[in-house]
Every structure is written in structure tokens, then in C-alpha cells.
Chain A
Amino acid sequence: MTQEAAIRVDDLSKIFTLHNQGATSIGVFEALKLEVMPGECVVLAGESGVGKSTLMRTIYGNYLPSSGGVFVLHDGSPVDITKAPPHQVLEIRRRTLGYVSQFLRVIPRVSTLDLVIEPLLENGVELEEARERAITLLQALRLPEAHWDLPPSTFSGGEQQRVNIARSFIREYPVLLLDEPTASLDAANRAIVVELINAALAKGAAMVGIFHDHDVRDAVATRLFNVSEYKAAA
């Protein structure tokens, strides 16, 4: 029996059209194909500007492709996230598809602990259990306890990044997109994140990642995928 891919990118093309700059068209990639199986961590390779982040954002439903589709395995069946209605995209993001970016979108006044438990509450986990899981994770990420009740807007870059990681890993999403999650972390914290990633992979999560740090990349990648092979003709 063949297993179904967690992510299947099908003949995906992306052209940005800048209407207010004389309708300039910028082709990013075309006819891109990629399959990611559960337990796989595919690391996107290629130099800066080749479209790695654009591909990630298109898989997340954040960018709209010019043609092609992105099928995400949601509740056991593949759904084309690029054509799904907004409520279904939000549902997929709530239960199936997580995204760890380099930046935390800070919401004024919401405490660190509340931010981290929010994805669990949205998925119907009881408050007590959610708190326990959040505390365990924040401790593992070595975020000082004094910070837990504060909103992260005043935290350092590395601290915000760890809150962001806690928020994304707590949910144990079956499909995770990692956009340089270790960018502003020191070596010890990077090692912790690598452990988290590998634990999630062992549980069968499928991941697509961008890592500029070669040590992290080598520690988590099951294979590399070169985006520049699909570069759109200029």
C-alpha cells in the first residue's frame, strides 16, 4: 500500500504582478512539483531570492499561486489549499497545518502563557491540561518563569522566537512549515529546537523548512529540495 503524501505541490507557478509599478511581472517559479511524506523533513535550498519563502507561503495559503495547486492531507483526504474557501483554509491551519516564522506577531496585552495555550484551547483542550503542557514546553525552551505572565512585546529577539516555537510545537500539527525557526537563537537553544523537530518527525509529522544554519539543516533534513531548478524564465 502506498502512503499518501502530507503535502503535494502540483505544477505550481507564481508570478507577482506589480500593478502600481507599471504592471511589472516578476516570475518566481513555474511548474514546481514536490511531495512530502509523513516523517519527512524537506529542506528548501537555493540562494536568496529564489522563492523559498514564496513557496512556503503558497503552501500555507498565504500567497495565491498563478497556476497549479497545493494539496494538504487534512482529515485523511487531500485538500487544495489554494482553492479552498477561507473558512476551510482557517480550519486546516487550526488543526493540520502549522507555520513557524522568524517573527512573532505580538498581540498587545496577551501574556506569553496565554499565547502558547491559545492553539490548544482553539482545539478544545481543557485549560488545566493546556497550561501544564505549555509550562512543560516553556521550561524545555528555558524561558524564565518570570516572563510567563508578561506579553512578549518587550522580550529580546531570541525570547520572542522561543515563544513562537512553543506556540507552534505545542499543538503537534501533522504538517509543519518552518521558516528559519532558529534564526535568532544561540547554540544551546538551537539544539533544543532541533530536538523538538526530530521528536515531531519521529511521531510522523511532515515538514518543509528553510534553514540557513548548516548544522541545524544537517541535523533535521531528510532531503534537500532545490527551488532554483524550477526558476521561472525571466
Chain B
Amino acid sequence: MTEVLDRPTSSQSVGAVEPLLRVSNLTKNYGHVAGCLDISFEMRPGEVLGIVGESGSGKTTLLNCISGKLAPTSGSIAFNSRRHGLVDIYDLSEPDRRRMQREDWGFVHQNPRDGLRMRVSGGANVAEPLMNLGRRHYGDMRQATMDWLSRVELDLGRVDDKPRNFSGGMQQRIQIARNLIHNPRLVFMDEPTGGLDVSVQARLLDLLRELVRDLGLAAIIVTHDMAVARLMADRLMVMKGGHVVETGLADQVLDDPQHPYTQLLVSSVLQI
């Protein structure tokens, strides 16, 4: 079943507000295998979009294409950057695209080891994005790092410890601080709470929710956890076999799913 159950207005333009992100007819094939197929959507500043679906449905392929890590086979991804305005990110030169990624984006990986540099201290990991943007005043950067470590509720006394000496949940919080310190306009999160135990997960989710609200961040969160989707996302896209099969307001998609696959997904969640 590949038809898209489109909400009456979900494909409409966002209106007077210029979109932060506009994805048009994005397709990515791996040889003859489809990763994601003909995906179009827009995001507004401050909006939190959840992408849900089973493993292999194309969630991560989509995230990697949008975040500039993987060039799509066809289609375009336009992002409204501070420096260039609304431009197709793959039309930018490599250095320009990298600079835009450093300035305007954050990327929180599921596994903190993919997003952190394990050989330098936790504090240096948090400060590095500022250095990458050309900041050189160590006192200021140290102060900003301390502020962020306390925002993500880490013990400031451990600022100089290496990431491997922190627990998984703490590493994830370092990664979050590292990806928010430079005041990005859009943060990508790939299963940000996957692999953590539930008490740590709850705390991290609550922290993320507060930060997203306080900073007015736009975020794209890929998750297979419906509870995470409900708590974090304003809007959901449900993916199956590379297609977006349903999209709409998060609570509406979860409480009154229309597509057979979404109904299956929602009814498969265990109740406690």
C-alpha cells in the first residue's frame, strides 16, 4: 500500500511565513533498492517534526539526505540559512555547505560515540562548535561550556573528564549540549533516547522538551518509539517502504490513524 493519505492542507505551503526547510520530490535509490521515494514537505521555524516507522522504512535515509550527509538521487532540499537565505543545500559549494551545517544545524546521533570525539574532554566536545565558528576567547568559551553543562544537568566538576568515563545517558547529554551551544536553527535527532534505560530516557526527553520550547528550536526527530513521538513532536510523518504513508498533527495521527500501516503501528504499542 503506497498511496499517501494526505491531510487536506498538509501539502500546502506554510503561507506568509517563509519556510525553514522545503523538501521537494526527494528520492534516494541505493542501486536498484529504494531508500526513500518522492518525499515532499515543508517546516516552519520552531516546528518539531517526528518521523516514525519500522526499521528499514527509510527514516534514516531521509534524515541523512536532508542533513547533507547523503546526496539524493533526485529532488531538492532547500534550507533557509542565515548566510544564504533559502537555497538548495546541494547547490552550495562543499565549503559553503559545511559552513552552513556548522552555523545553522545540530545533529544528535543515537549513539553518542558517533557524535562525540572520544579522545578529548567532555568540556572540549561542548566547546568545539564555537571554535569551529572562529571563536578564540578561551575564557568565554569555557563559560559558555559551563552554562551548557549545567543546562543539561551535568556535574561541572567533571568538565575535563573524557567522554568514555561518563555513563551512556551522560554522554548523550554532552552530545546534546555540543549540538545546541552554537544556537542552531534546526537540530536533527536520530533516535536520541534509543539504547538508554527508561528512567534516563524520561529525564532526557523532559530536558529536550524544555530546551526545544525555551529556545524555539526547529527539530526533526527520527524515532520508532510512539511515546517519544507524542511527547516531542508537533507533527508526524509515518514512513513505510520508503514512502510517507500518513502525515498530520502528532496527536491526531496517533489517536485517529487513517492508514492501515499507521493503525497497525499504533495498535502494536504495549500498554502499561
Contact = CB atoms under 8 A, between A and B. Distances in A.
Contact of B249 (A19, A57, A61): A61
Contacts of A85: 7, 9-10, 12, 14-15
A19 B263 contact: yes
B258 interface: yes
Interface stretch (A39-47, A106-114, A205-213): A106-114
A64 B258 contact: yes
Interface in B214-272: 231, 234-235, 248-252, 255-256, 258-260, 263-264, 267
A57 B267 CA distance: 19
B252 A62 contact: yes
A20 B260 contact: yes
B203 interface: yes
Interchain residue pairs A-B with the least CB separation, the first 9: A19-B260, A108-B202, A63-B256, A86-B249, A86-B235, A83-B8, A85-B9, A109-B206, A62-B255
Contacts of B255: 57, 62-63
15 contacts: A18-B263, A19-B263, A19-B264, A61-B249, A62-B251, A62-B255, A63-B252, A85-B14, A86-B10, A86-B235, A86-B248, A87-B234, A107-B231, A108-B205, A108-B206
Interface residues of A, number: 20
B47 interface: yes
B97 to A, nearest CB: 28
Contacts of A86: 10, 234-235, 248-250
Contact of B252 (A20, A64, A108): A64
Nearest to B256: A63
A90 B12 contact: no
B234 A109 contact: no
Interface in A65-99: 83-87, 89-90
Contacts, number: 60
Contacts of B102: none
B142 interface: no
Interface of B: 7-10, 12, 14-15, 44, 47, 202-203, 205-206, 209, 231, 234-235, 248-252, 255-256, 258-260, 263-264, 267
- Interface SS, A side: loop
A87 B47 CA distance: 8
Contacts of A83: 8-9
A89 B203 contact: no
A90 B206 contact: no
Nearest to B12: A85
Given A19-B264, A90-B234, A107-B231, 18 more contacts: A19-B259, A20-B260, A20-B263, A20-B264, A62-B255, A62-B256, A64-B248, A64-B252, A83-B8, A85-B9, A85-B12, A86-B249, A87-B234, A87-B235, A107-B209, A108-B202, A108-B203, A108-B206
Interface string A178-193: 0000000000000000
A87 B44 contact: yes
